[in-house]
Structure 1
């Protein structure tokens, strides 16, 4: 029986549900252990959709060799620029948009990519991976078939026994929309990690159902919602979701070290384990 469903974010196109669970389950177990709780691996499932973004076979090795000239969509550009602005605010080594003397490339997107190469957060990611990640965000919001198929993967993983959905990064957007679309589900606890849900223009205004008067709908199937964010997480540009989604939402800040957006330190955090353990215990089923 699936008690906990894990939903991943961008950049997992080469993984799968079993390898993702191998990667995340130990961290989940550690966070729960800090709160005197445990859950069997067999009771946890990964809602996996990354392969939907995996490129078809081509002559080159690895991902398509993308560069700044391939960023022609305004949403892809704005995602990259938002990461740049936030990274520049968080890290002294990342030159900001105003520091033209430190960046010699005149093209705005290329300047953003060059700046992000100095970020510890994006360390090891080449330009093509940064662009490919931004493209996944754009495709989810602008390609209806992609959005529908991603949501189907998550919906199919949720069972009658599911008590908690833990969603990371773009996965929090998917989980939110799926929960709104399934009011028949009941008493779900939603735990979002490094979520961009409240980022205006890029994400918030593109949600379904659409927000009204600056406030988004509370998913009717959600009993409790805890949002966990690291101050240095450049993807979770807005750290508190309650102002946009309702006062019933609890926002918690954590410190993940150098890997501010990585799902694993989010899962090992006491605050994350506490939220999940509380949900398991509310129904009297925590071991």
Structure 2
């Protein structure tokens, strides 16, 4: 019966809930300590895990199947990689910009994007396969209704009447938002989103369920308060503030995570995040 439910993002398919908790819980505890909160026992924190739903089936080769620019699908995958590229170029002088991308054929344009992103601090050390795989998981979430429903079901099952706060990272913030919107009668909770892509127009925001109306997303009925935390260098959180999309009730906070702008651990260890979670907890224990 968890007071805090954590929701992970993309690229966790070969891990599991207990493995992730060993990484997240110490960082969560550090953030709460900086906020002056006594902390929450480990047994009162759970992970809504869905990474295994993206795990590829076995195949005859060794390792994961290789992916290259020619495997990138038009639509969400292509546009997401290009948006990441464009944003990285505005942040780092060593990342060459796309220029007039309309004159280039898709495979060549995507290859340029992958090459440029490989030189960014954000994607340093990450191969093309992992970059493409990240974009592919986002695409699958939005285009596979069965998968989308099963992922949301994992979170719905983890949240109980005793849950006080949901802390959702990256794609997990999309899962949390849609799950809470679909559960208007659920007891009230606080929502803390970290490195969220929810405000990215066309690719994410306009594909949400329920569909936004007149440029504004619906407020999830069970949410008492919503705190959104973003690092300015986080390429996934292309729209740093969610208030303009979901209303003035969202409290947007800006932090600095150093070189690991999208990593959940520096998000959790940041004092503003700790204060947001501590403020969402009802009582010390």
CA distance in 1, matches of 2:100, 2:182: 45
**Structure 1 residue 266 corresponds to structure 2 residue 261:** no
Equivalent residues in 2 for 1:62-81, closer than 5 Å: 62-81=63-82
| Native 8 Å contact 1:173 1:195 kept in 2 | yes
When normalised by structure 2's length, the TM-score is 0.96
Q: What CA RMSD, in Å, does the superposition of the two structures yield over aligned residues? A: 1.5
Partners of 1:138 and 1:78 in 2: CA distance: 10
Q: Distance in 2 between matches of 1:186 and 1:93?
A: 48
Match of 1:158 in 2: 159
Q: Contact 1:226–1:250 (CA<8 Å) still a contact in 2?
A: yes
For 1:216, what is the secondary structure of its paired residue?
Answer: coil
- The equivalent of 2:147 in structure 1 is 146
> 1:106, CA displacement in angstroms?
7.6
Question: Deviation at 1:231?
Answer: 0.5
* Contact 1:75–1:202 (8 Å) recurs in 2: yes
Deviations 1:96-117 (A, max 9, x none): 10299xxxx9810000000011
SS class of match (2:265): helix
The more displaced of 55-64 and 105-114 is 105-114
Task: Report runs of 4+ in structure 1 exceeding 6 Å deviation.
Answer: none
Instruction: Give the TM-score normalised by the residue count of structure 1.
Output: 0.95
Q: Give 1:184 deviation, angstroms.
A: 1.4
8 Å contact kept, 1:186–1:223: no
Aligned counterparts of 1:243 and 1:132: Cα–Cα separation in 2 = 30
Q: Distance in 2 between matches of 1:90 and 1:16?
A: 33
Give a deviation string over 1:61-100, Cα, whole Å, max 9, x none: 2221000011123211001111111111111111110299
Farther off after superposition, 178-187 or 159-168:
178-187
1:36-83 CA distances to partner (integer Å, 9 max, x unpaired)? 111111100000001100100012222210000111232110011111
- Report the CA distance between 1:160 and its aligned residue: 1.0
* Number of equivalences: 281
Match status 1:21 vs 2:21: yes
Q: Which residue of 1 aligns with 2:242?
A: 241
Determine if the alignment matches structure 1 residue 194 to structure 2 residue 173: no
Residues 42 and 214 of structure 1, relative CA distance in 2, 3 Å threshold = same
Deviation at 1:186, TM superposition (A): 2.3
Give the SS at the match of 1:107: helix
**Worse overlay, 54-63 or 231-240:** 54-63
Structure 1 partner of 2:284: 286
C-alpha distance in 2 between matches for 1:193 and 1:135? 21
Q: Structure 1: any 5+ residue segments left out of the alignment? A: none
